[in-house]
Structure 1
Amino acid sequence: MSESSNKPLSPLSPGQWSFTRWKTIGQLEALEVHHPLFEATLFLQGAHLTHFVPKNESNWLWLSPNARFEPGRAIRGGIPICWPWFGDPARNAPEVRKRVKTKNAHGFARTALWKLENVNESAHEVEIALSLEANRDFMNVWSGQALALLTFSFSVRGCQLTLTSTNLGSEPLSFSQALHTYLPTTDITRSRVLGLGHSNYIDTLKNWEYCAQDGPVYFDGETDSIYESGEPMIVVTPESSRKITSVGSDSTVVWNPGPDKAKTLSDFPDTAWQTMLCVETANAASDYRVLNKGQSYTLGVLIGRG
Structure 2
Amino acid sequence: MIDWPQSLNLCRPLMHQPYVSLRQIDELVCLQIDHPKARALVALQGAQLLEYTPAGAQPVIWLSEQAEFKRGQSIRGGIPICWPWFGDARKNPETVQAMLPEGNLPAHGWVRSKPWLLDRISSDDNGVHLKLCFPETQWPAPFPQGVELSVEMSIGEELNIALLTENKSDQTLNISQALHSYFAVSDVIHASINNLIHVPFIDTLNDWNENIDQAPICISGETDRIYKNTPEMICIVDSKWNREIQIYSKDSQSAVVWNPWIEKAKRLSQFESSAYKQMLCVETANVLNNCKELPPGSGWVLQTNIANHSTPPIANC
With structure 2 as the length reference, what TM-score do the two structures score?
A: 0.88
1:38, CA displacement in angstroms?
1.5
What is the Cα deviation at residue 264 of structure 1? 1.7
Work out the CA distance in 1 between the residues paired with 2:231 and 2:210: 17
**Residue type at the aligned position of 1:280:** E
CA contact (8 A) 1:197 1:215 kept: yes
**Aligned residue in 2 for 1:118:** 120
Matching residue of 1:286:
289
Cα deviation 1:111-167 (Å, max 9, x = unaligned): 01111110011122210100114433x427x723311110000122x1010011011
Q: Find the aligned partners of 1:26 and 1:58 in 2 and give their Cα distance.
A: 26
Structure 1's consecutive aligned runs of 4 or more residues displaced over 6 angstroms after TM superposition are none
* Amino acid in structure 1 at the alignment position of 2:120: N
- Per the alignment, residue 224 of structure 1 pairs with 224
Measured against aligned partners, the alpha-carbon deviations of 1:187-213 in whole angstroms (never above 9, x if no partner) come to 212211000011011011111101012
**Correspondence 1:128 to 2:130:** yes
Taking the aligned partners of 2:191 and 2:164, their CA distance within structure 1 comes to 32
Question: Counterparts of 2:61 and 2:38 in 1: how far apart (Å)?
Answer: 13
Q: Does 1:302 align with 2:305?
A: yes
Distance 1:13 1:77, change over 3 A: closer
CA distance in 1, matches of 2:152, 2:304: 11
> What is the count of residue pairs matched by the alignment?
292
For residues 27 and 257 of structure 2, the distance between their equivalents in structure 1, rounded to whole angstroms, comes to 31
Amino acid at match of 1:66: Q
Q: What is the distance in 2 between the residues matched to 1:230 and 1:129?
A: 27
2: distance between equivalents of 1:258 and 1:265? 11
Q: Distance in 2 between matches of 1:276 and 1:15?
A: 35
- SS of 1:301's partner is strand
Task: Report the counterpart of residue 64 of structure 1 in structure 2.
Answer: 64
Answer yes or no: is the 8 Å Cα contact 2:38–2:127 preserved in 1: no
Q: Which of the numbers 255, 273, 278 marks the counterpart of 1:275?
A: 278
Aligned partner of residue 225 in structure 1, secondary structure? strand
User: Within the alignment, does 1:41 sit opposite 2:31 as a pair?
Assistant: no
Question: In 1, Cα distance between the equivalents of 2:71 and 2:261?
Answer: 28
Q: Equivalent residue for 1:105?
A: 107
- For 1:198, what is the secondary structure of its paired residue? coil
Instruction: Tell me if structure 2 keeps the 8 A contact 1:196–1:231.
Output: no
- Contact 1:178 1:281 (8 Å CA) reproduced: yes
Structure 1 residue 234 corresponds to structure 2 residue 235: yes
Structure 1 contact 134–144 (Cα < 8 Å) conserved = no
Q: What is the alpha-carbon root mean square deviation over aligned residues? A: 1.5
Aligned to 1:197, what secondary structure does the other structure show?
A: coil
Alignment of 1:155 onto 2:149: no
Query: What code does the residue aligned with 2:129 have?
Result: E
Q: How much has 1:14 moved relative to structure 2?
A: 2.3
Structure 2 residue matching 1:205: 3-state secondary structure: coil
Contact 1:119 1:127 in 2 (8 A): yes
Q: Which residue of 1 aligns with 2:187?
A: 187
Aligned counterparts of 2:218 and 2:270: Cα–Cα separation in 1: 25
Equivalent-residue separation in structure 1 for 2:126 and 2:193 (angstroms): 30
Gaps of 5+ in 1: 1-11
Task: Give the structure 2 partner of residue 261 of structure 1.
Answer: 264
Alignment partners' CA distance in 2, 1:71 and 1:92: 27
Q: Secondary structure at the match of 2:63?
A: coil
Contact 2:130 2:154 in 1 (8 A): yes
Work out the percentage of aligned pairs sharing the same amino acid: 34
Matched letter for residue 198 of structure 1: H
**Counterpart of 2:225 in structure 1: which amino acid?**
S
Q: Deviations over 1:213-272 (max 9, x none)?
A: 212011111000011114301101221320000000111000001112112211111111
Deviation at 1:16, TM superposition (A): 1.4
Residues 195 and 231, structure 2, Cα contact 8 Å, conserved in 1: no
Provide the residue aligned with 2:53 in structure 1. 53
Q: Using the alignment, how far apart are the partners of 1:90 and 1:111 within structure 2? A: 20
Aligned to 2:313: none
- CA distance in 2 between partners of 1:186 and 1:293 (Å): 46
Matched residues in 2 for 1:186 and 1:14: separation? 35
Q: Are the aligned partners of 1:72 and 1:112 in contact in 2 as well (CA < 8 Å)? A: yes
CA distance in 1 between partners of 2:83 and 2:105 (Å): 14
